[in-house]
A and B are shown apart, each in its own frame.
Chain A
Amino acid sequence: MTKYSGLRALVVEDEATVAMLIEDMLEDLGFEIVASVASLVEASEVAVNVEIDFAMLDVNIAGDLIFPVANLLSERQIPFLFSTGYGATGLPPRFSRCCVITKPFSQAELLEKIVLALDN
């Protein structure tokens, strides 16, 4: 049991293999993966309708930017963590203070960022 046991997580990641890794890592930390999606449409649907406590958002999702989903989550005050290959510079000003993790990352790094994202 970890401090995040039972927290429901959404994973938005367009690469299946990477998604599998993230899911595994989150599950190891105690999260329950309630959705893992690879498109903006599916992600938006989950962000609006599904009870979740946390989201991992790939910034570039099959060519689309994830920010509309981030907005929806912000409105619901659901904490989230951006994952990207670009680094923090690719974020618009509105999200410049949000937590970002750059791929590839270790489970320890992920935990560190999740702590920041959930405790803020």
Chain B
Amino acid sequence: MLDVEELPEAASTSSEFESMLAAPPSALDAIPGAVYICDHRGWLVRYNIEAAELWGQSPPVGENGVQLCGSNRLFLVDGTPLALDDCPMATALRTGDPTRNAEVIMERHDGSRFIALVNIRALRDQSGAIQGAINCFQDITAYRAVAEELRRRNEDLEDFFNNSAVGLHIVNGEGIIVRANEAELSLLGYSADEYVGRHIAEFHADAPVIDDILHRLSSGEKLESYHARLRAKDGSVKHVAITSNGRFEESKLVNTRCFTVDVTDLHEAEAARRESEERLAATYEAATVGIAEANAEGRLLRVNDAICKMLGRSREELLSMTFADYTHPEDIAEDIALYARQISGELGSYVLRKRAIRSDGTTIYLDINSSSVIDASGFRYGVRVIQDVTAAKQLEDRLSASERHFRKLLEALPAAVYTTDAEGHITFFNQAAVAMSGRTPQQGDLWCVTWRLFNADGSPLPHDECPMAVALKEDRTVRGAEAIAERPDGTRVPFIPYPTPLHDADGNLIGAVNMLVDITERKLAENRQKTLIDELNHRVKNTLATVQSLAAQTARHADSADDLYHRLETRLLALSRAHDLLTRRHWEDAPLDSLVREVLLPLSGDASNRIEFNGVRVNVSTRAALNLTMVLNELATNATKYGALSSDAGRVVLSWNVRSQLAATLLELEWQEIGGPPVSPPDRRGLGSRLMKRCIERDLGGELDLVFAATGVTCRISISIPAEAT
């Protein structure tokens, strides 16, 4: 820059103005810069080549030439026109005030403009009067442009610094924060006052980290996305990536510039993703079910430990195989076919039980649960969840075999057996149950296989109150109950149920089994027994009544106690023998000849060989047998005491015959005493004859004709008997 103050004075005698004018043009041209001089009236009087070049013209000098400036027009740097009278040269001439480093715009005749830096000084004579002024100017257009560019750049930088979305701070060589931008302050929540001026280490969560950062930077190292944790004002910790380097002057660290990028969200997302991935991987490996991923060809892409263990093969081995490679030959086709349908999208997933061959050659059962991972482009890979069900399968097989066995057993049982689940739904019943209930139980039947139920007393018994329902609802065994089942055809079966709850290994109620024992036979037997006892009672009572009567009647007619005893005894014994015979015959019809023998022979003692009897084979009813016994007993007793059997010469002939008539069959008997002592009719009709008459005529509806002939007693008896008795 030209300093006009330093121009050498031309001569001590002449003024500066005069010296300038006197100097040859070459002197002005030698000045490195544009120079021109005006006289005190403003007339351009001298200028050099450089000035002419800048003006783009060589204006005339001297009076009536050019005023104040050799350019066409003047403007202020902001572009407003500058009147000549107001220009710095005019001011210098008028007031003597110099102008230093003023900027004006000069316009050439061709309209082009340049910015001129002007330095003007008034030129005075020895008396101090202003003789003129000198203007040294230079084109600073380019400089100005550079300066403007610099200013603008600086503004941009400031703007960038202050308004950047990225946190920025500058730390000096001592670690003190000297600047920080808005982004950094808002990231950490501090005001500029709270942040700037503090040591950067105060804001780091990890002292070793900031020590390391400062050490690196002071060593000239550049940090790229160095991870650190900053402490925000609210106490939270921000994860940041710091990019920084140091500025050195004379190998001394002046400051460091740090870009601070908040990666907290990123860090959290990353941590979450990592954790999720780790968990997934851990789950994958820790799963006790086998998990495998396979490509479209079935080649295994990933397998977990469980499946390696299951198949007894290493991971490497499995990853070189397809799942078909370890599948039992008979099960390959099905799995492959299903997998193909899954890959084609026809199946979303499938479940398959198949056999697989372990490396040791043993066969295991696997439950395969196959599905696909699909993205926008379609099938990505297959996921196969695999469970070793060998033990379960074997147990199942054993159980089903055992259950089949058990069911066969139940089927074979002669008793009605059925089972229900815990809710009482019938799950099984055997044929005996169908036979007993008279129906086949239907799907959804509850509590009992029977059609209708009644209590033992005949009152209706709702199914949900039956012993089986009680056993299930109260989870207890029910015993001692008795009920009656009615079949759809109306027949009834008395039975005893044996409902028993069933429990699983943990003691949970899972159902019940019931056995229905048909007690029809028992009931009938009970009834028969009751009838028998009643009948027995009846006979005993009737017999006692007969004995009572015989005793009473015999007593009335007896001559003495001996006579009473003897007569009563023979009557009771005759009765007893008839009972013996009938008991042997099970109280059914008895052959008449047996009856006669039983009654007469013991009675007659030694005389028995003097009793003859003959007749047709004929059976008599129990009632006729008893009455005939009484009659024969009376006849024999009388004959022994008074008649033919009372002497050695006498004898008795008993004969009988059967005669059929139109209406009935008659049994006719004749008792004839021969050769005994002469007979005289009794003076009064004794008990014996009264009894005989009653027995035959009253009880049997027959006829009895008793004749006391002198030659011997005869007795004719006629009773009607059933035709088939002969």
Residues in chain A within 8 A of chain B (CB atoms): 14-21, 24, 36-39, 60, 62, 84-87, 90, 102-105
Contact = CB atoms under 8 A, between A and B. Distances in A.
A62 B694 contact: no
Interface in B507-561: 534, 537-542, 544-550, 552-553, 556
Contacts of A90: 534
B537 A17 contact: no
Contact of A85 (B540, B556, B690): B540
Nearest to A87: B537
25 contacts: A15-B546, A16-B627, A16-B630, A16-B698, A16-B699, A17-B550, A17-B630, A17-B691, A17-B694, A18-B542, A18-B545, A18-B546, A20-B690, A21-B548, A24-B556, A37-B698, A38-B699, A38-B701, A60-B538, A84-B538, A84-B541, A85-B541, A85-B542, A86-B534, A103-B544
From B537, B540, B541, B701, residue with most partner A Cβ within 10 Å: B541
B303 to A, nearest CB: 87
Contacts of A19: 694, 698
B545 A15 contact: yes
A90 B530 CA distance: 12
A85 B552 contact: no
B440 to A, nearest CB: 40
A103 B542 contact: yes
A12 to B, nearest CB: 11
B695 interface: yes
Nearest to B536: A85
B61 to A, nearest CB: 171
A60 B695 CA distance: 17
B663 to A, nearest CB: 15
A69 B429 CA distance: 54
A69 to B, nearest CB: 17
Nearest to A59: B538
Contacts of B537: 85-87
B526 to A, nearest CB: 16
B152 interface: no
B623 interface: yes
B79 to A, nearest CB: 141
B694 A103 contact: no
Contacts of B545: 15, 18, 21, 85, 103-105
A21 B552 CA distance: 7
A16 B549 CA distance: 9
A20 B701 CA distance: 16
A8 B534 CA distance: 33
A63 to B, nearest CB: 8
Contacts of B627: 16
Contact of B549 (A21, A85, A86): A21
Given A16-B627, A20-B691, A21-B552, A38 B539 contact: no
Contact of A24 (B544, B547, B550, B552): B552
Interface in B427-456: none
Given A15-B542, A17-B694, A19-B698, 18 more contacts: A15-B699, A16-B627, A16-B691, A16-B699, A17-B630, A18-B542, A18-B545, A18-B546, A20-B553, A20-B690, A20-B694, A21-B545, A37-B698, A86-B537, A103-B544, A104-B541, A104-B548, A105-B545
A37 B691 CA distance: 14
Contact of B541 (A36, A38, A102): A102
Contacts of A38: 698-699, 701
A13 to B, nearest CB: 9
A16 B698 CA distance: 7
A62 B695 CA distance: 13
B538 A85 contact: yes
Given A38-B698, A104-B544, A17 B538 contact: no
Prevailing SS type, chain A contact patch: mixed
Interface residues of B, number: 27
Contacts of A20: 549, 553, 690-691, 694
Nearest to A21: B549
Contacts of B538: 60, 84-86
A5 B698 CA distance: 25
A90 B269 CA distance: 99
Contacts of A84: 538, 541
A87 B701 CA distance: 28
Contact of B698 (A36, A102, A104): A36
Contacts of A60: 538
Contacts of B695: 16
Across the A-B interface, give the 7 residue pairs with the lowest CB-CB distance, nearest first. Answer: A85-B541, A21-B549, A85-B538, A16-B694, A103-B545, A104-B545, A17-B549
A19 B542 CA distance: 11
Contacts of A105: 545
From A38, A85, A86, residue with most partner B Cβ within 10 Å: A85
A15 B699 CA distance: 6
A64 to B, nearest CB: 12
A44 to B, nearest CB: 15
From B542, B547, B556, B694, residue with most partner A Cβ within 10 Å: B542
A19 B699 CA distance: 10
B575 to A, nearest CB: 9
Contacts of A36: 698
B622 to A, nearest CB: 10
Contacts of B699: 14-16, 38
A18 B549 contact: yes
A105 B541 CA distance: 10
From B545, B548, B691, B694, residue with most partner A Cβ within 10 Å: B545
Contacts of A21: 545, 548-549, 552-553
A51 to B, nearest CB: 21
A65 B538 CA distance: 14
A36 B698 CA distance: 8
Contacts of A37: 698
A47 B537 CA distance: 29
B599 to A, nearest CB: 16
A92 to B, nearest CB: 15
Interface in B117-170: none
From B548, B549, B553, B627, residue with most partner A Cβ within 10 Å: B549
Interface in B545-595: 545-550, 552-553, 556
From A15, A86, A90, A105, residue with most partner B Cβ within 10 Å: A15
Contacts of B539: 85
A81 B691 CA distance: 24
Nearest to B553: A20
Contacts of B544: 103-104
A90 B534 CA distance: 9
A25 to B, nearest CB: 9
A111 to B, nearest CB: 16
A38 B701 CA distance: 8
Contacts of B556: 24
A99 B221 CA distance: 135
A21 B555 CA distance: 12
B556 to A, nearest CB: 8
A14 B538 CA distance: 13
Interface in B277-324: none
A29 to B, nearest CB: 15
Contacts of B534: 86, 90
A24 B623 CA distance: 23
Contacts of A17: 546, 549-550, 553, 630, 691, 694
